[in-house]
Structure 1
Amino acid sequence: MLNDVKPLLTLRGLHKRFGPTHALRGVDIDLIPGQVLALIGENGAGKSTLVKTLTGVHRPDEGEIRMNGELCRFGRAKDAQAAGIVAVHQETVMFEELTAAENIFIGRQPMRGLPGFKVIDWARMNREAQQVLDEVGAGFASTTPVRELSLAQRHLIEIARALSQQAKVVILDEPTAALSHAEIHDFYGIVRGLKAQGVAILFITHKFDELFAVCDRYVVLRDGASVGAGLMAEADEPGLVRLMAGRAIEQIYPEVKSTPGETVLQVKTLSHPTEFHDLNFELRRGEILGFYGLVGAGRSEAMLALMGLNPEARGEVLIEGKAIDIREPADAIAAGLSYVPEERQRQGGILPFSVGHNMSLAALAGPRHGMHGHMSRGSWLSGLREKAFAEGMIKRLSIRTESADTPLSSLSGGNQQKVVIAKWLGLNPRIVILDEPTKGIDVGAKQAVYQLIAEMVEHGLAVILVSSELPEVMHLAHRVIVMRRGLQVREFKQGEASADAVVAAASGLVLTESAPAAATPMPAKEWAA
């Protein structure tokens, strides 16, 4: 029986307050060696606060944490690490100029030499780092600078860092958010390996298939309190959703009622020396065009090129039949394009700024016609207009925040994402590019974002939806373009193909007779030729 094993880590009656906000309300949790506990809850339910309390970032106001029955008081993050508690976070924060090995062993590098004359043992550090990277199937050298690695590869470094510390408790906070299907299945193997070693794992994800694939037990948080717990084998998705949201969510994907109209965007022979080659597509008014592919397919890089953020890219872009020379983001924005990036904290918002200021950032340049108007009055920001817009978007997107004056950094990941989306709506753009718009967002917040996307196209906007969530693109997109290794390999109309066919095209496992000749990826050196 799963519950017969003695807990390694116990939390009892945990409370945490931030001023008037009661973030944790008497939370009880048991972490058991060799088991995975799913921590489930909507954004703002208290999951991040609980993780920060476990890892020594916050101190609980009430309650206790015990490791093997002994009371623990973590005054700082290093104390939690010393006790064997390690977290792998959703947002990777690393030193980009250092190597993978240096990031894995940062602050605890192996040393050699005489007392008083010790230096870093580089050979040992690189060797041990390579061992843990090989364990997680990283596929790159430990001496590789982090700046050269993709987001998915950086997540593998985070996991390798945890493995290298011989942790007793590992907290996995949205660890698969940037991984491909193949990498996710490899990751499941890593989790099972940790279980076999007797590690207690706290697993946080919004993907229900992952919960049922790797988790043994679950605890559900709502508004900072534990509202349900049990065995995953005895749970079902509708029941967990009801616990999370306090309500049933019958229809996650809304009906998209828009009918695509005239062409608003044409992209011809868009290429980059190493990232993507010869992309050709068009987008219509009132249409959702999905882009699907595995990590490294070149989808995000192509979108960055459309926004003037990939200067080596070349190609022809026409908006409403007029050729547009996009050399920098200002050119794209002036032409009516907007871009919600995948990495919201690094590219989408300014964390110390308030929610209201983040929402008004894109609209500060000057007047824009449209339903929201502009935020400036002459050379000055109009506080009244900014406040009215921010409060309207907070209500419309169900953003959980004390007020429009709350710093963006204090919001949960899902609510930060919704603020970034709201920022661009102030410009009333023609074309909205959404790059992984529901990454790290719970089921209730996803429903709100999906509804917003449906409303945007119903009002005549054109949307490009870049997503590694296959159900998203299959349910929402009128058409889906599949990319693989920098090439546009297939295009499917809604309802035209099964999920297996789309994944096969993205992975290169199957080449059908209807596949285009370009389905065989070209080496980067040939692209540049």
Structure 2
Amino acid sequence: MTANQEELRLEHITKSFAGVPALKSVDFTVHRGEIHALLGANGAGKSTLMKILSGAYTLDAGTITIGPREVKLHSPSDAKKNGIHCVYQEVDTALVPQITVAENILLDRLSTREGGLWHSWGQIYREAEEAIAKLGASIDVRKKVEGLSLSEKQLVLIARTLVEKAKFIIFDEPTAPLSHEETTNLFRVMKQMKAEGIGCIFISHRLPEVFEHCDRVTVMRDGQQVYTESCEASSMDEVIRHMLGKTFEEEFPKRNVPIGEVILQTDQLTSGTRVKQVDMQVRSGEIVSVVGLVGAGKSELSNVLFGALRRDQGHIFMHGRKLSVKNPSDAIEAGIVLVPEERRKHGIMVEDSVQQNLSLPLLRQLSRIGFVRGRREQEHAQRLVDRLGVKTSSLKQQVKFLSGGNQQKVAIGKWVETKADVFLFDEPTKGVDIGAKSDIFRLIGDLAHQGKGILYFTCEFAEAIGIADRILVMCEGRVVKEFSRDEATQEKLLYYASAGQEDES
């Protein structure tokens, strides 16, 4: 093959959503027979670019070529016809659990009329067995997929790409749910595919894996491709610098608040495989930020503390007293409240008014003999709207018609006049404009000034450094490092959040 025939080339790829640019003239090239890492912070544009390449999104401008030939990808089917396949982290979404391994491997063929209406089951089992054997695996192809382990399901997906004669495969965070042994086996398979001339695109947050197994690395930031280099000629520090962009400057003032006694404490707190033996403390007036990348366990930890996720081991203490938090009602009763990441699903009632949302936690105090006192409810809501700076045409306006930032202010505001001592904020600035972010930071500072304990869960490292007194770094369900505000830098946080402790020596 000539070099040109070996290339998958994306040039000047542009994509906007509702007028907001997600990709800005991105160039990205993958050779046959290489493992090319695609990196970037959350929101950098990696997923959008790969959804265009896999046919899930259509591009607004730009070209995709394989060798000398331009290809048009309007659907996942178009991508597969051109030899482009995906292996997702959430393998169950791409498999049918009630049918056999063999049927799943040859699913694309069986679901179309390719090969005619009749299929030889003997031939199907042979092809599936050959594909599995090629991966060096031992899986009974007559077994139903629902009985397989996670890594075995992933191998079934990879076997499907071999049967379909894939030329390029997108691996989207494939190692995130795997054990060390399973991860080692996956990379063995990827290197085997590389040797057979398949181009592998590897999306990951784990930098040590990238530099151990990949040939080249591309970094995206703010919807643009900002860096491409061979892994041999690059370094983790160089990649981190390009992921973060310009040197950090604090974008919001940190309010000085006296730090008091310990309010909340956990001891070996564990929930499944996503929260592992977490020890931490939060003091009165203190803002503790918990940072990590996607899949680190931040949201799960906030949900365990709030009683929305089961605690398997360990203990939670409030003011030195051991709690039994079995559901959110227990947490609220104990003085722990949560502003969740998915505010429209769990933080607000979108069909109800601003007034009703802000009154919800205090209905008992605002009611008399079972009836809500309208004037008291209205005064309470108006006081919070003024205090929070909620931009609404009326207290009666449905929350779904507010902007994202104003919805978040309502999600936070409903708790501020409760007796809560600990506030959990899970990605509170997600989907929020700059002005609303400033208001949210100010509000959190006010709560700390009142002596509340704040846990701020975020993947935005700049925010953590700007707002927190202490920063805990999570990776793979564990707190792996703690920094004071003065010690922390974005480079250090990203290093440990990316499993950098593995290479610390």
Q: Counterpart of 2:329?
A: 330
Q: 1:145: which partner in 2? A: 146
Pairing of 1:224-303 with structure 2 (within 5 A): 224-248=223-247, 262-265=261-264, 283=281, 285=283
Shift in CA distance, 258/5, structure 1 to aligned 2, threshold 3 Å = farther
**What amino acid sits opposite 2:462 in the alignment?**
A
Whether the 8 Å contact between 1:155 and 1:178 is mirrored in structure 2 is: no
Residues 1:384 and 1:323: Cα distance change in structure 2 (over 3 Å): same
Look up the SS of the partner of 2:32 in the other structure: coil
Which position in structure 2 is the counterpart of 1:31?
A: 30
SS at match of 2:74: coil
Instruction: Give the deviation of 1:192 after TM superposition.
Output: 1.3
> Equivalences for 1:169-208 in 2 at 5 Å?
169-208=168-207
1:474 aligns with 2:481: yes
User: Helix, strand or coil for the counterpart of 2:239?
Assistant: helix
Tell me the CA shift for residue 72 of structure 1: 1.2
In 2, the alpha carbon distance for the partners of 1:242 and 1:282 equals 30
Aligned to 1:210, what secondary structure does the other structure show?
helix
Give 1:158 deviation, angstroms. 4.9
Conserved? CA contact 2:132–2:138, under 8 Å: no
**Within 1, Cα distance between the matches of 2:331 and 2:130?**
42
* Shift in Å, 1:184: 3.4
Looking at structure 1, the residues matched to 159 and 358 of structure 2 have their Cα atoms a distance apart, in angstroms, of 42
Task: Measure how far apart 1:207 and its partner are.
Answer: 3.2
Query: What is the rounded CA distance, in whole Å, between the counterparts of 1:43 and 1:291 in structure 2?
Result: 12
1:215 match: 214
TM-score where L is the length of structure 2: 0.60
What does residue 67 of structure 2 align with? 68
Q: How does 1:75-224 map to 2 (within 5 A)?
A: 75-92=74-91, 94=93, 98-99=97-98, 101=101, 106-109=107-110, 124=125, 128=129, 131=132, 135=136, 143-145=144-146, 158-159=157-158, 161-163=160-162, 165-224=164-223
For residues 144 and 69 of structure 1, the distance between their equivalents in structure 2, rounded to whole angstroms, comes to 39
Instruction: Pick closer, same or farther for the CA change 1:136–1:69 going to 2, 3 Å.
Output: farther
Shift of 1:195: 0.9
% identical equivalent positions:
24
Q: Say whether the 8 Å CA contact 1:337–1:433 is kept in structure 2.
A: no
Is 92-101 or 75-84 further displaced after alignment? 92-101
Q: Secondary structure of the equivalent of 1:218?
A: strand
Equivalent in the alignment of 1:13: 12
Q: Output the amino acid matched with 2:361.
A: G
Q: C-alpha distance in 2, partners of 1:219/1:56?
A: 21
Is the CA contact (8 Å cut-off) linking 2:264 and 2:318 kept in structure 1? Answer: yes
Per-residue deviation, 1:234: 1.9
Q: Deviations over 1:196-246 (max 9, x none)?
A: 111111222333323322222233434444444332222234443444444
- What RMSD, in angstroms, separates the aligned Cα atoms of the two structures? 6.2
Offset of residue 85 of structure 1? 0.4
Matched residue of 2:79: which SS?
A: helix
| 1:79 Cα offset (Å) | 1.2
SS of equivalent to 2:246: coil
Give, in whole Å, the separation in 2 of the partners of 1:288 and 1:141. Answer: 51
State which of 333, 358, 366 in structure 1 corresponds to 2:361. Answer: 366
Cα distance, 1:127–1:236 mapped onto 2, change above 3 Å: closer
353 and 29 in structure 1: CA distance in 2 versus 1, 3 angstrom threshold: farther
How far, CA to CA, are the matches of 1:422 and 1:175 in structure 2? Answer: 39
Report SS of the residue matched to 2:197.
coil
CA shift at 1:78, angstroms? Answer: 0.7
Q: Structure 1: any 5+ residue segments left out of the alignment?
A: 252-256, 406-414, 416-420, 439-444, 479-497, 504-529
Q: Distance in 2 between matches of 1:271 and 1:238?
A: 32
The one-letter amino acid paired with 2:218 is V
Q: Which amino acid aligns with 2:85?
A: V
Structure 1 residues 403 and 432, CA gap change in structure 2 (3 angstroms): closer
Q: Do the aligned partners of residues 430 and 77 (structure 1) sit closer, same or farther apart at CA in structure 2, a change above 3 Å counting? A: same
User: Could you say which residue in structure 2 is the equivalent of 1:491?
Assistant: none
Q: CA 1:135 to 1:248, structure 2 compared with 1: closer, same or farther past 3 Å?
A: farther
Give me the whole-angstrom Cα distance separating, in 2, the residues matched to 1:85 and 1:287.
46
Q: Is the 8 A contact 1:391 1:404 kept in 2?
A: no
Secondary structure class of the residue paired with 1:57: coil
Instruction: Give the secondary-structure state (helix, strand or coil) at the position aligned to 1:366.
Output: helix
**Residue aligning to 1:448:** 462
Q: TM-score, normalised by structure 1?
A: 0.58
User: How many Å separate the matches in 2 of 1:154 and 1:362?
Assistant: 43
What is aligned with 2:416?
A: none
Query: 2:456, 2:433 → 1: CA distance?
Result: 29
1:367-410 per-position Cα deviation (integer Å, ceiling 9, x unaligned): 5999987989999877889845748999x9775667999xxxxx
Inter-partner Cα distance in structure 2 for 1:330 and 1:379: 27
What is the CA–CA distance in structure 1 between the aligned matches of 2:233 and 2:130, rounded to whole Å?
Answer: 39
Q: Which amino acid aligns with 1:451?
A: I
Instruction: Look up the equivalent residue of 2:51 and give its one-letter code.
Output: K
Cα distance in 2 between the residues matched to 1:133 and 1:424:
55
Distance in 2 separating the partners of 1:328 and 1:53: 41
Query: In the aligned structure 2, how far is the partner of 1:138 from the partner of 1:260?
Result: 57
Counterpart contact for 2:139–2:152, Cα < 8 Å:
yes
Which blocks of at least 5 consecutive residues in structure 2 are unaligned? Answer: 251-255, 363-379, 413-424, 486-499
Q: Is the 8 A contact 2:5 2:66 kept in 1?
A: no
- 1:94 counterpart SS class: helix
Specify the SS of the correspondent of 1:473: strand
Letter in 2 for 1:473: V
CA distance in 2 between counterparts of 1:450 and 1:50 reads 28
- Offset of 1:324 from its aligned partner? 3.9
Distance of aligned partners of 1:247 and 1:183 in 2 relative to their CA distance in 1, 3 Å threshold = farther
1:60 match: secondary structure? coil
Structure 1 residues 474 and 388, CA, compared in 2 at 3 Å: closer, same or farther?
Answer: same
Whole-angstrom distance in 1 between the partners of 2:141 and 2:259 = 44
TM-aligned CA distance change 1:281 to 1:23, over 3 Å = closer
> Is the Cα–Cα contact under 8 Å of residues 55 and 86 in structure 1 kept in the other structure?
yes
Shift of 1:15: 3.0
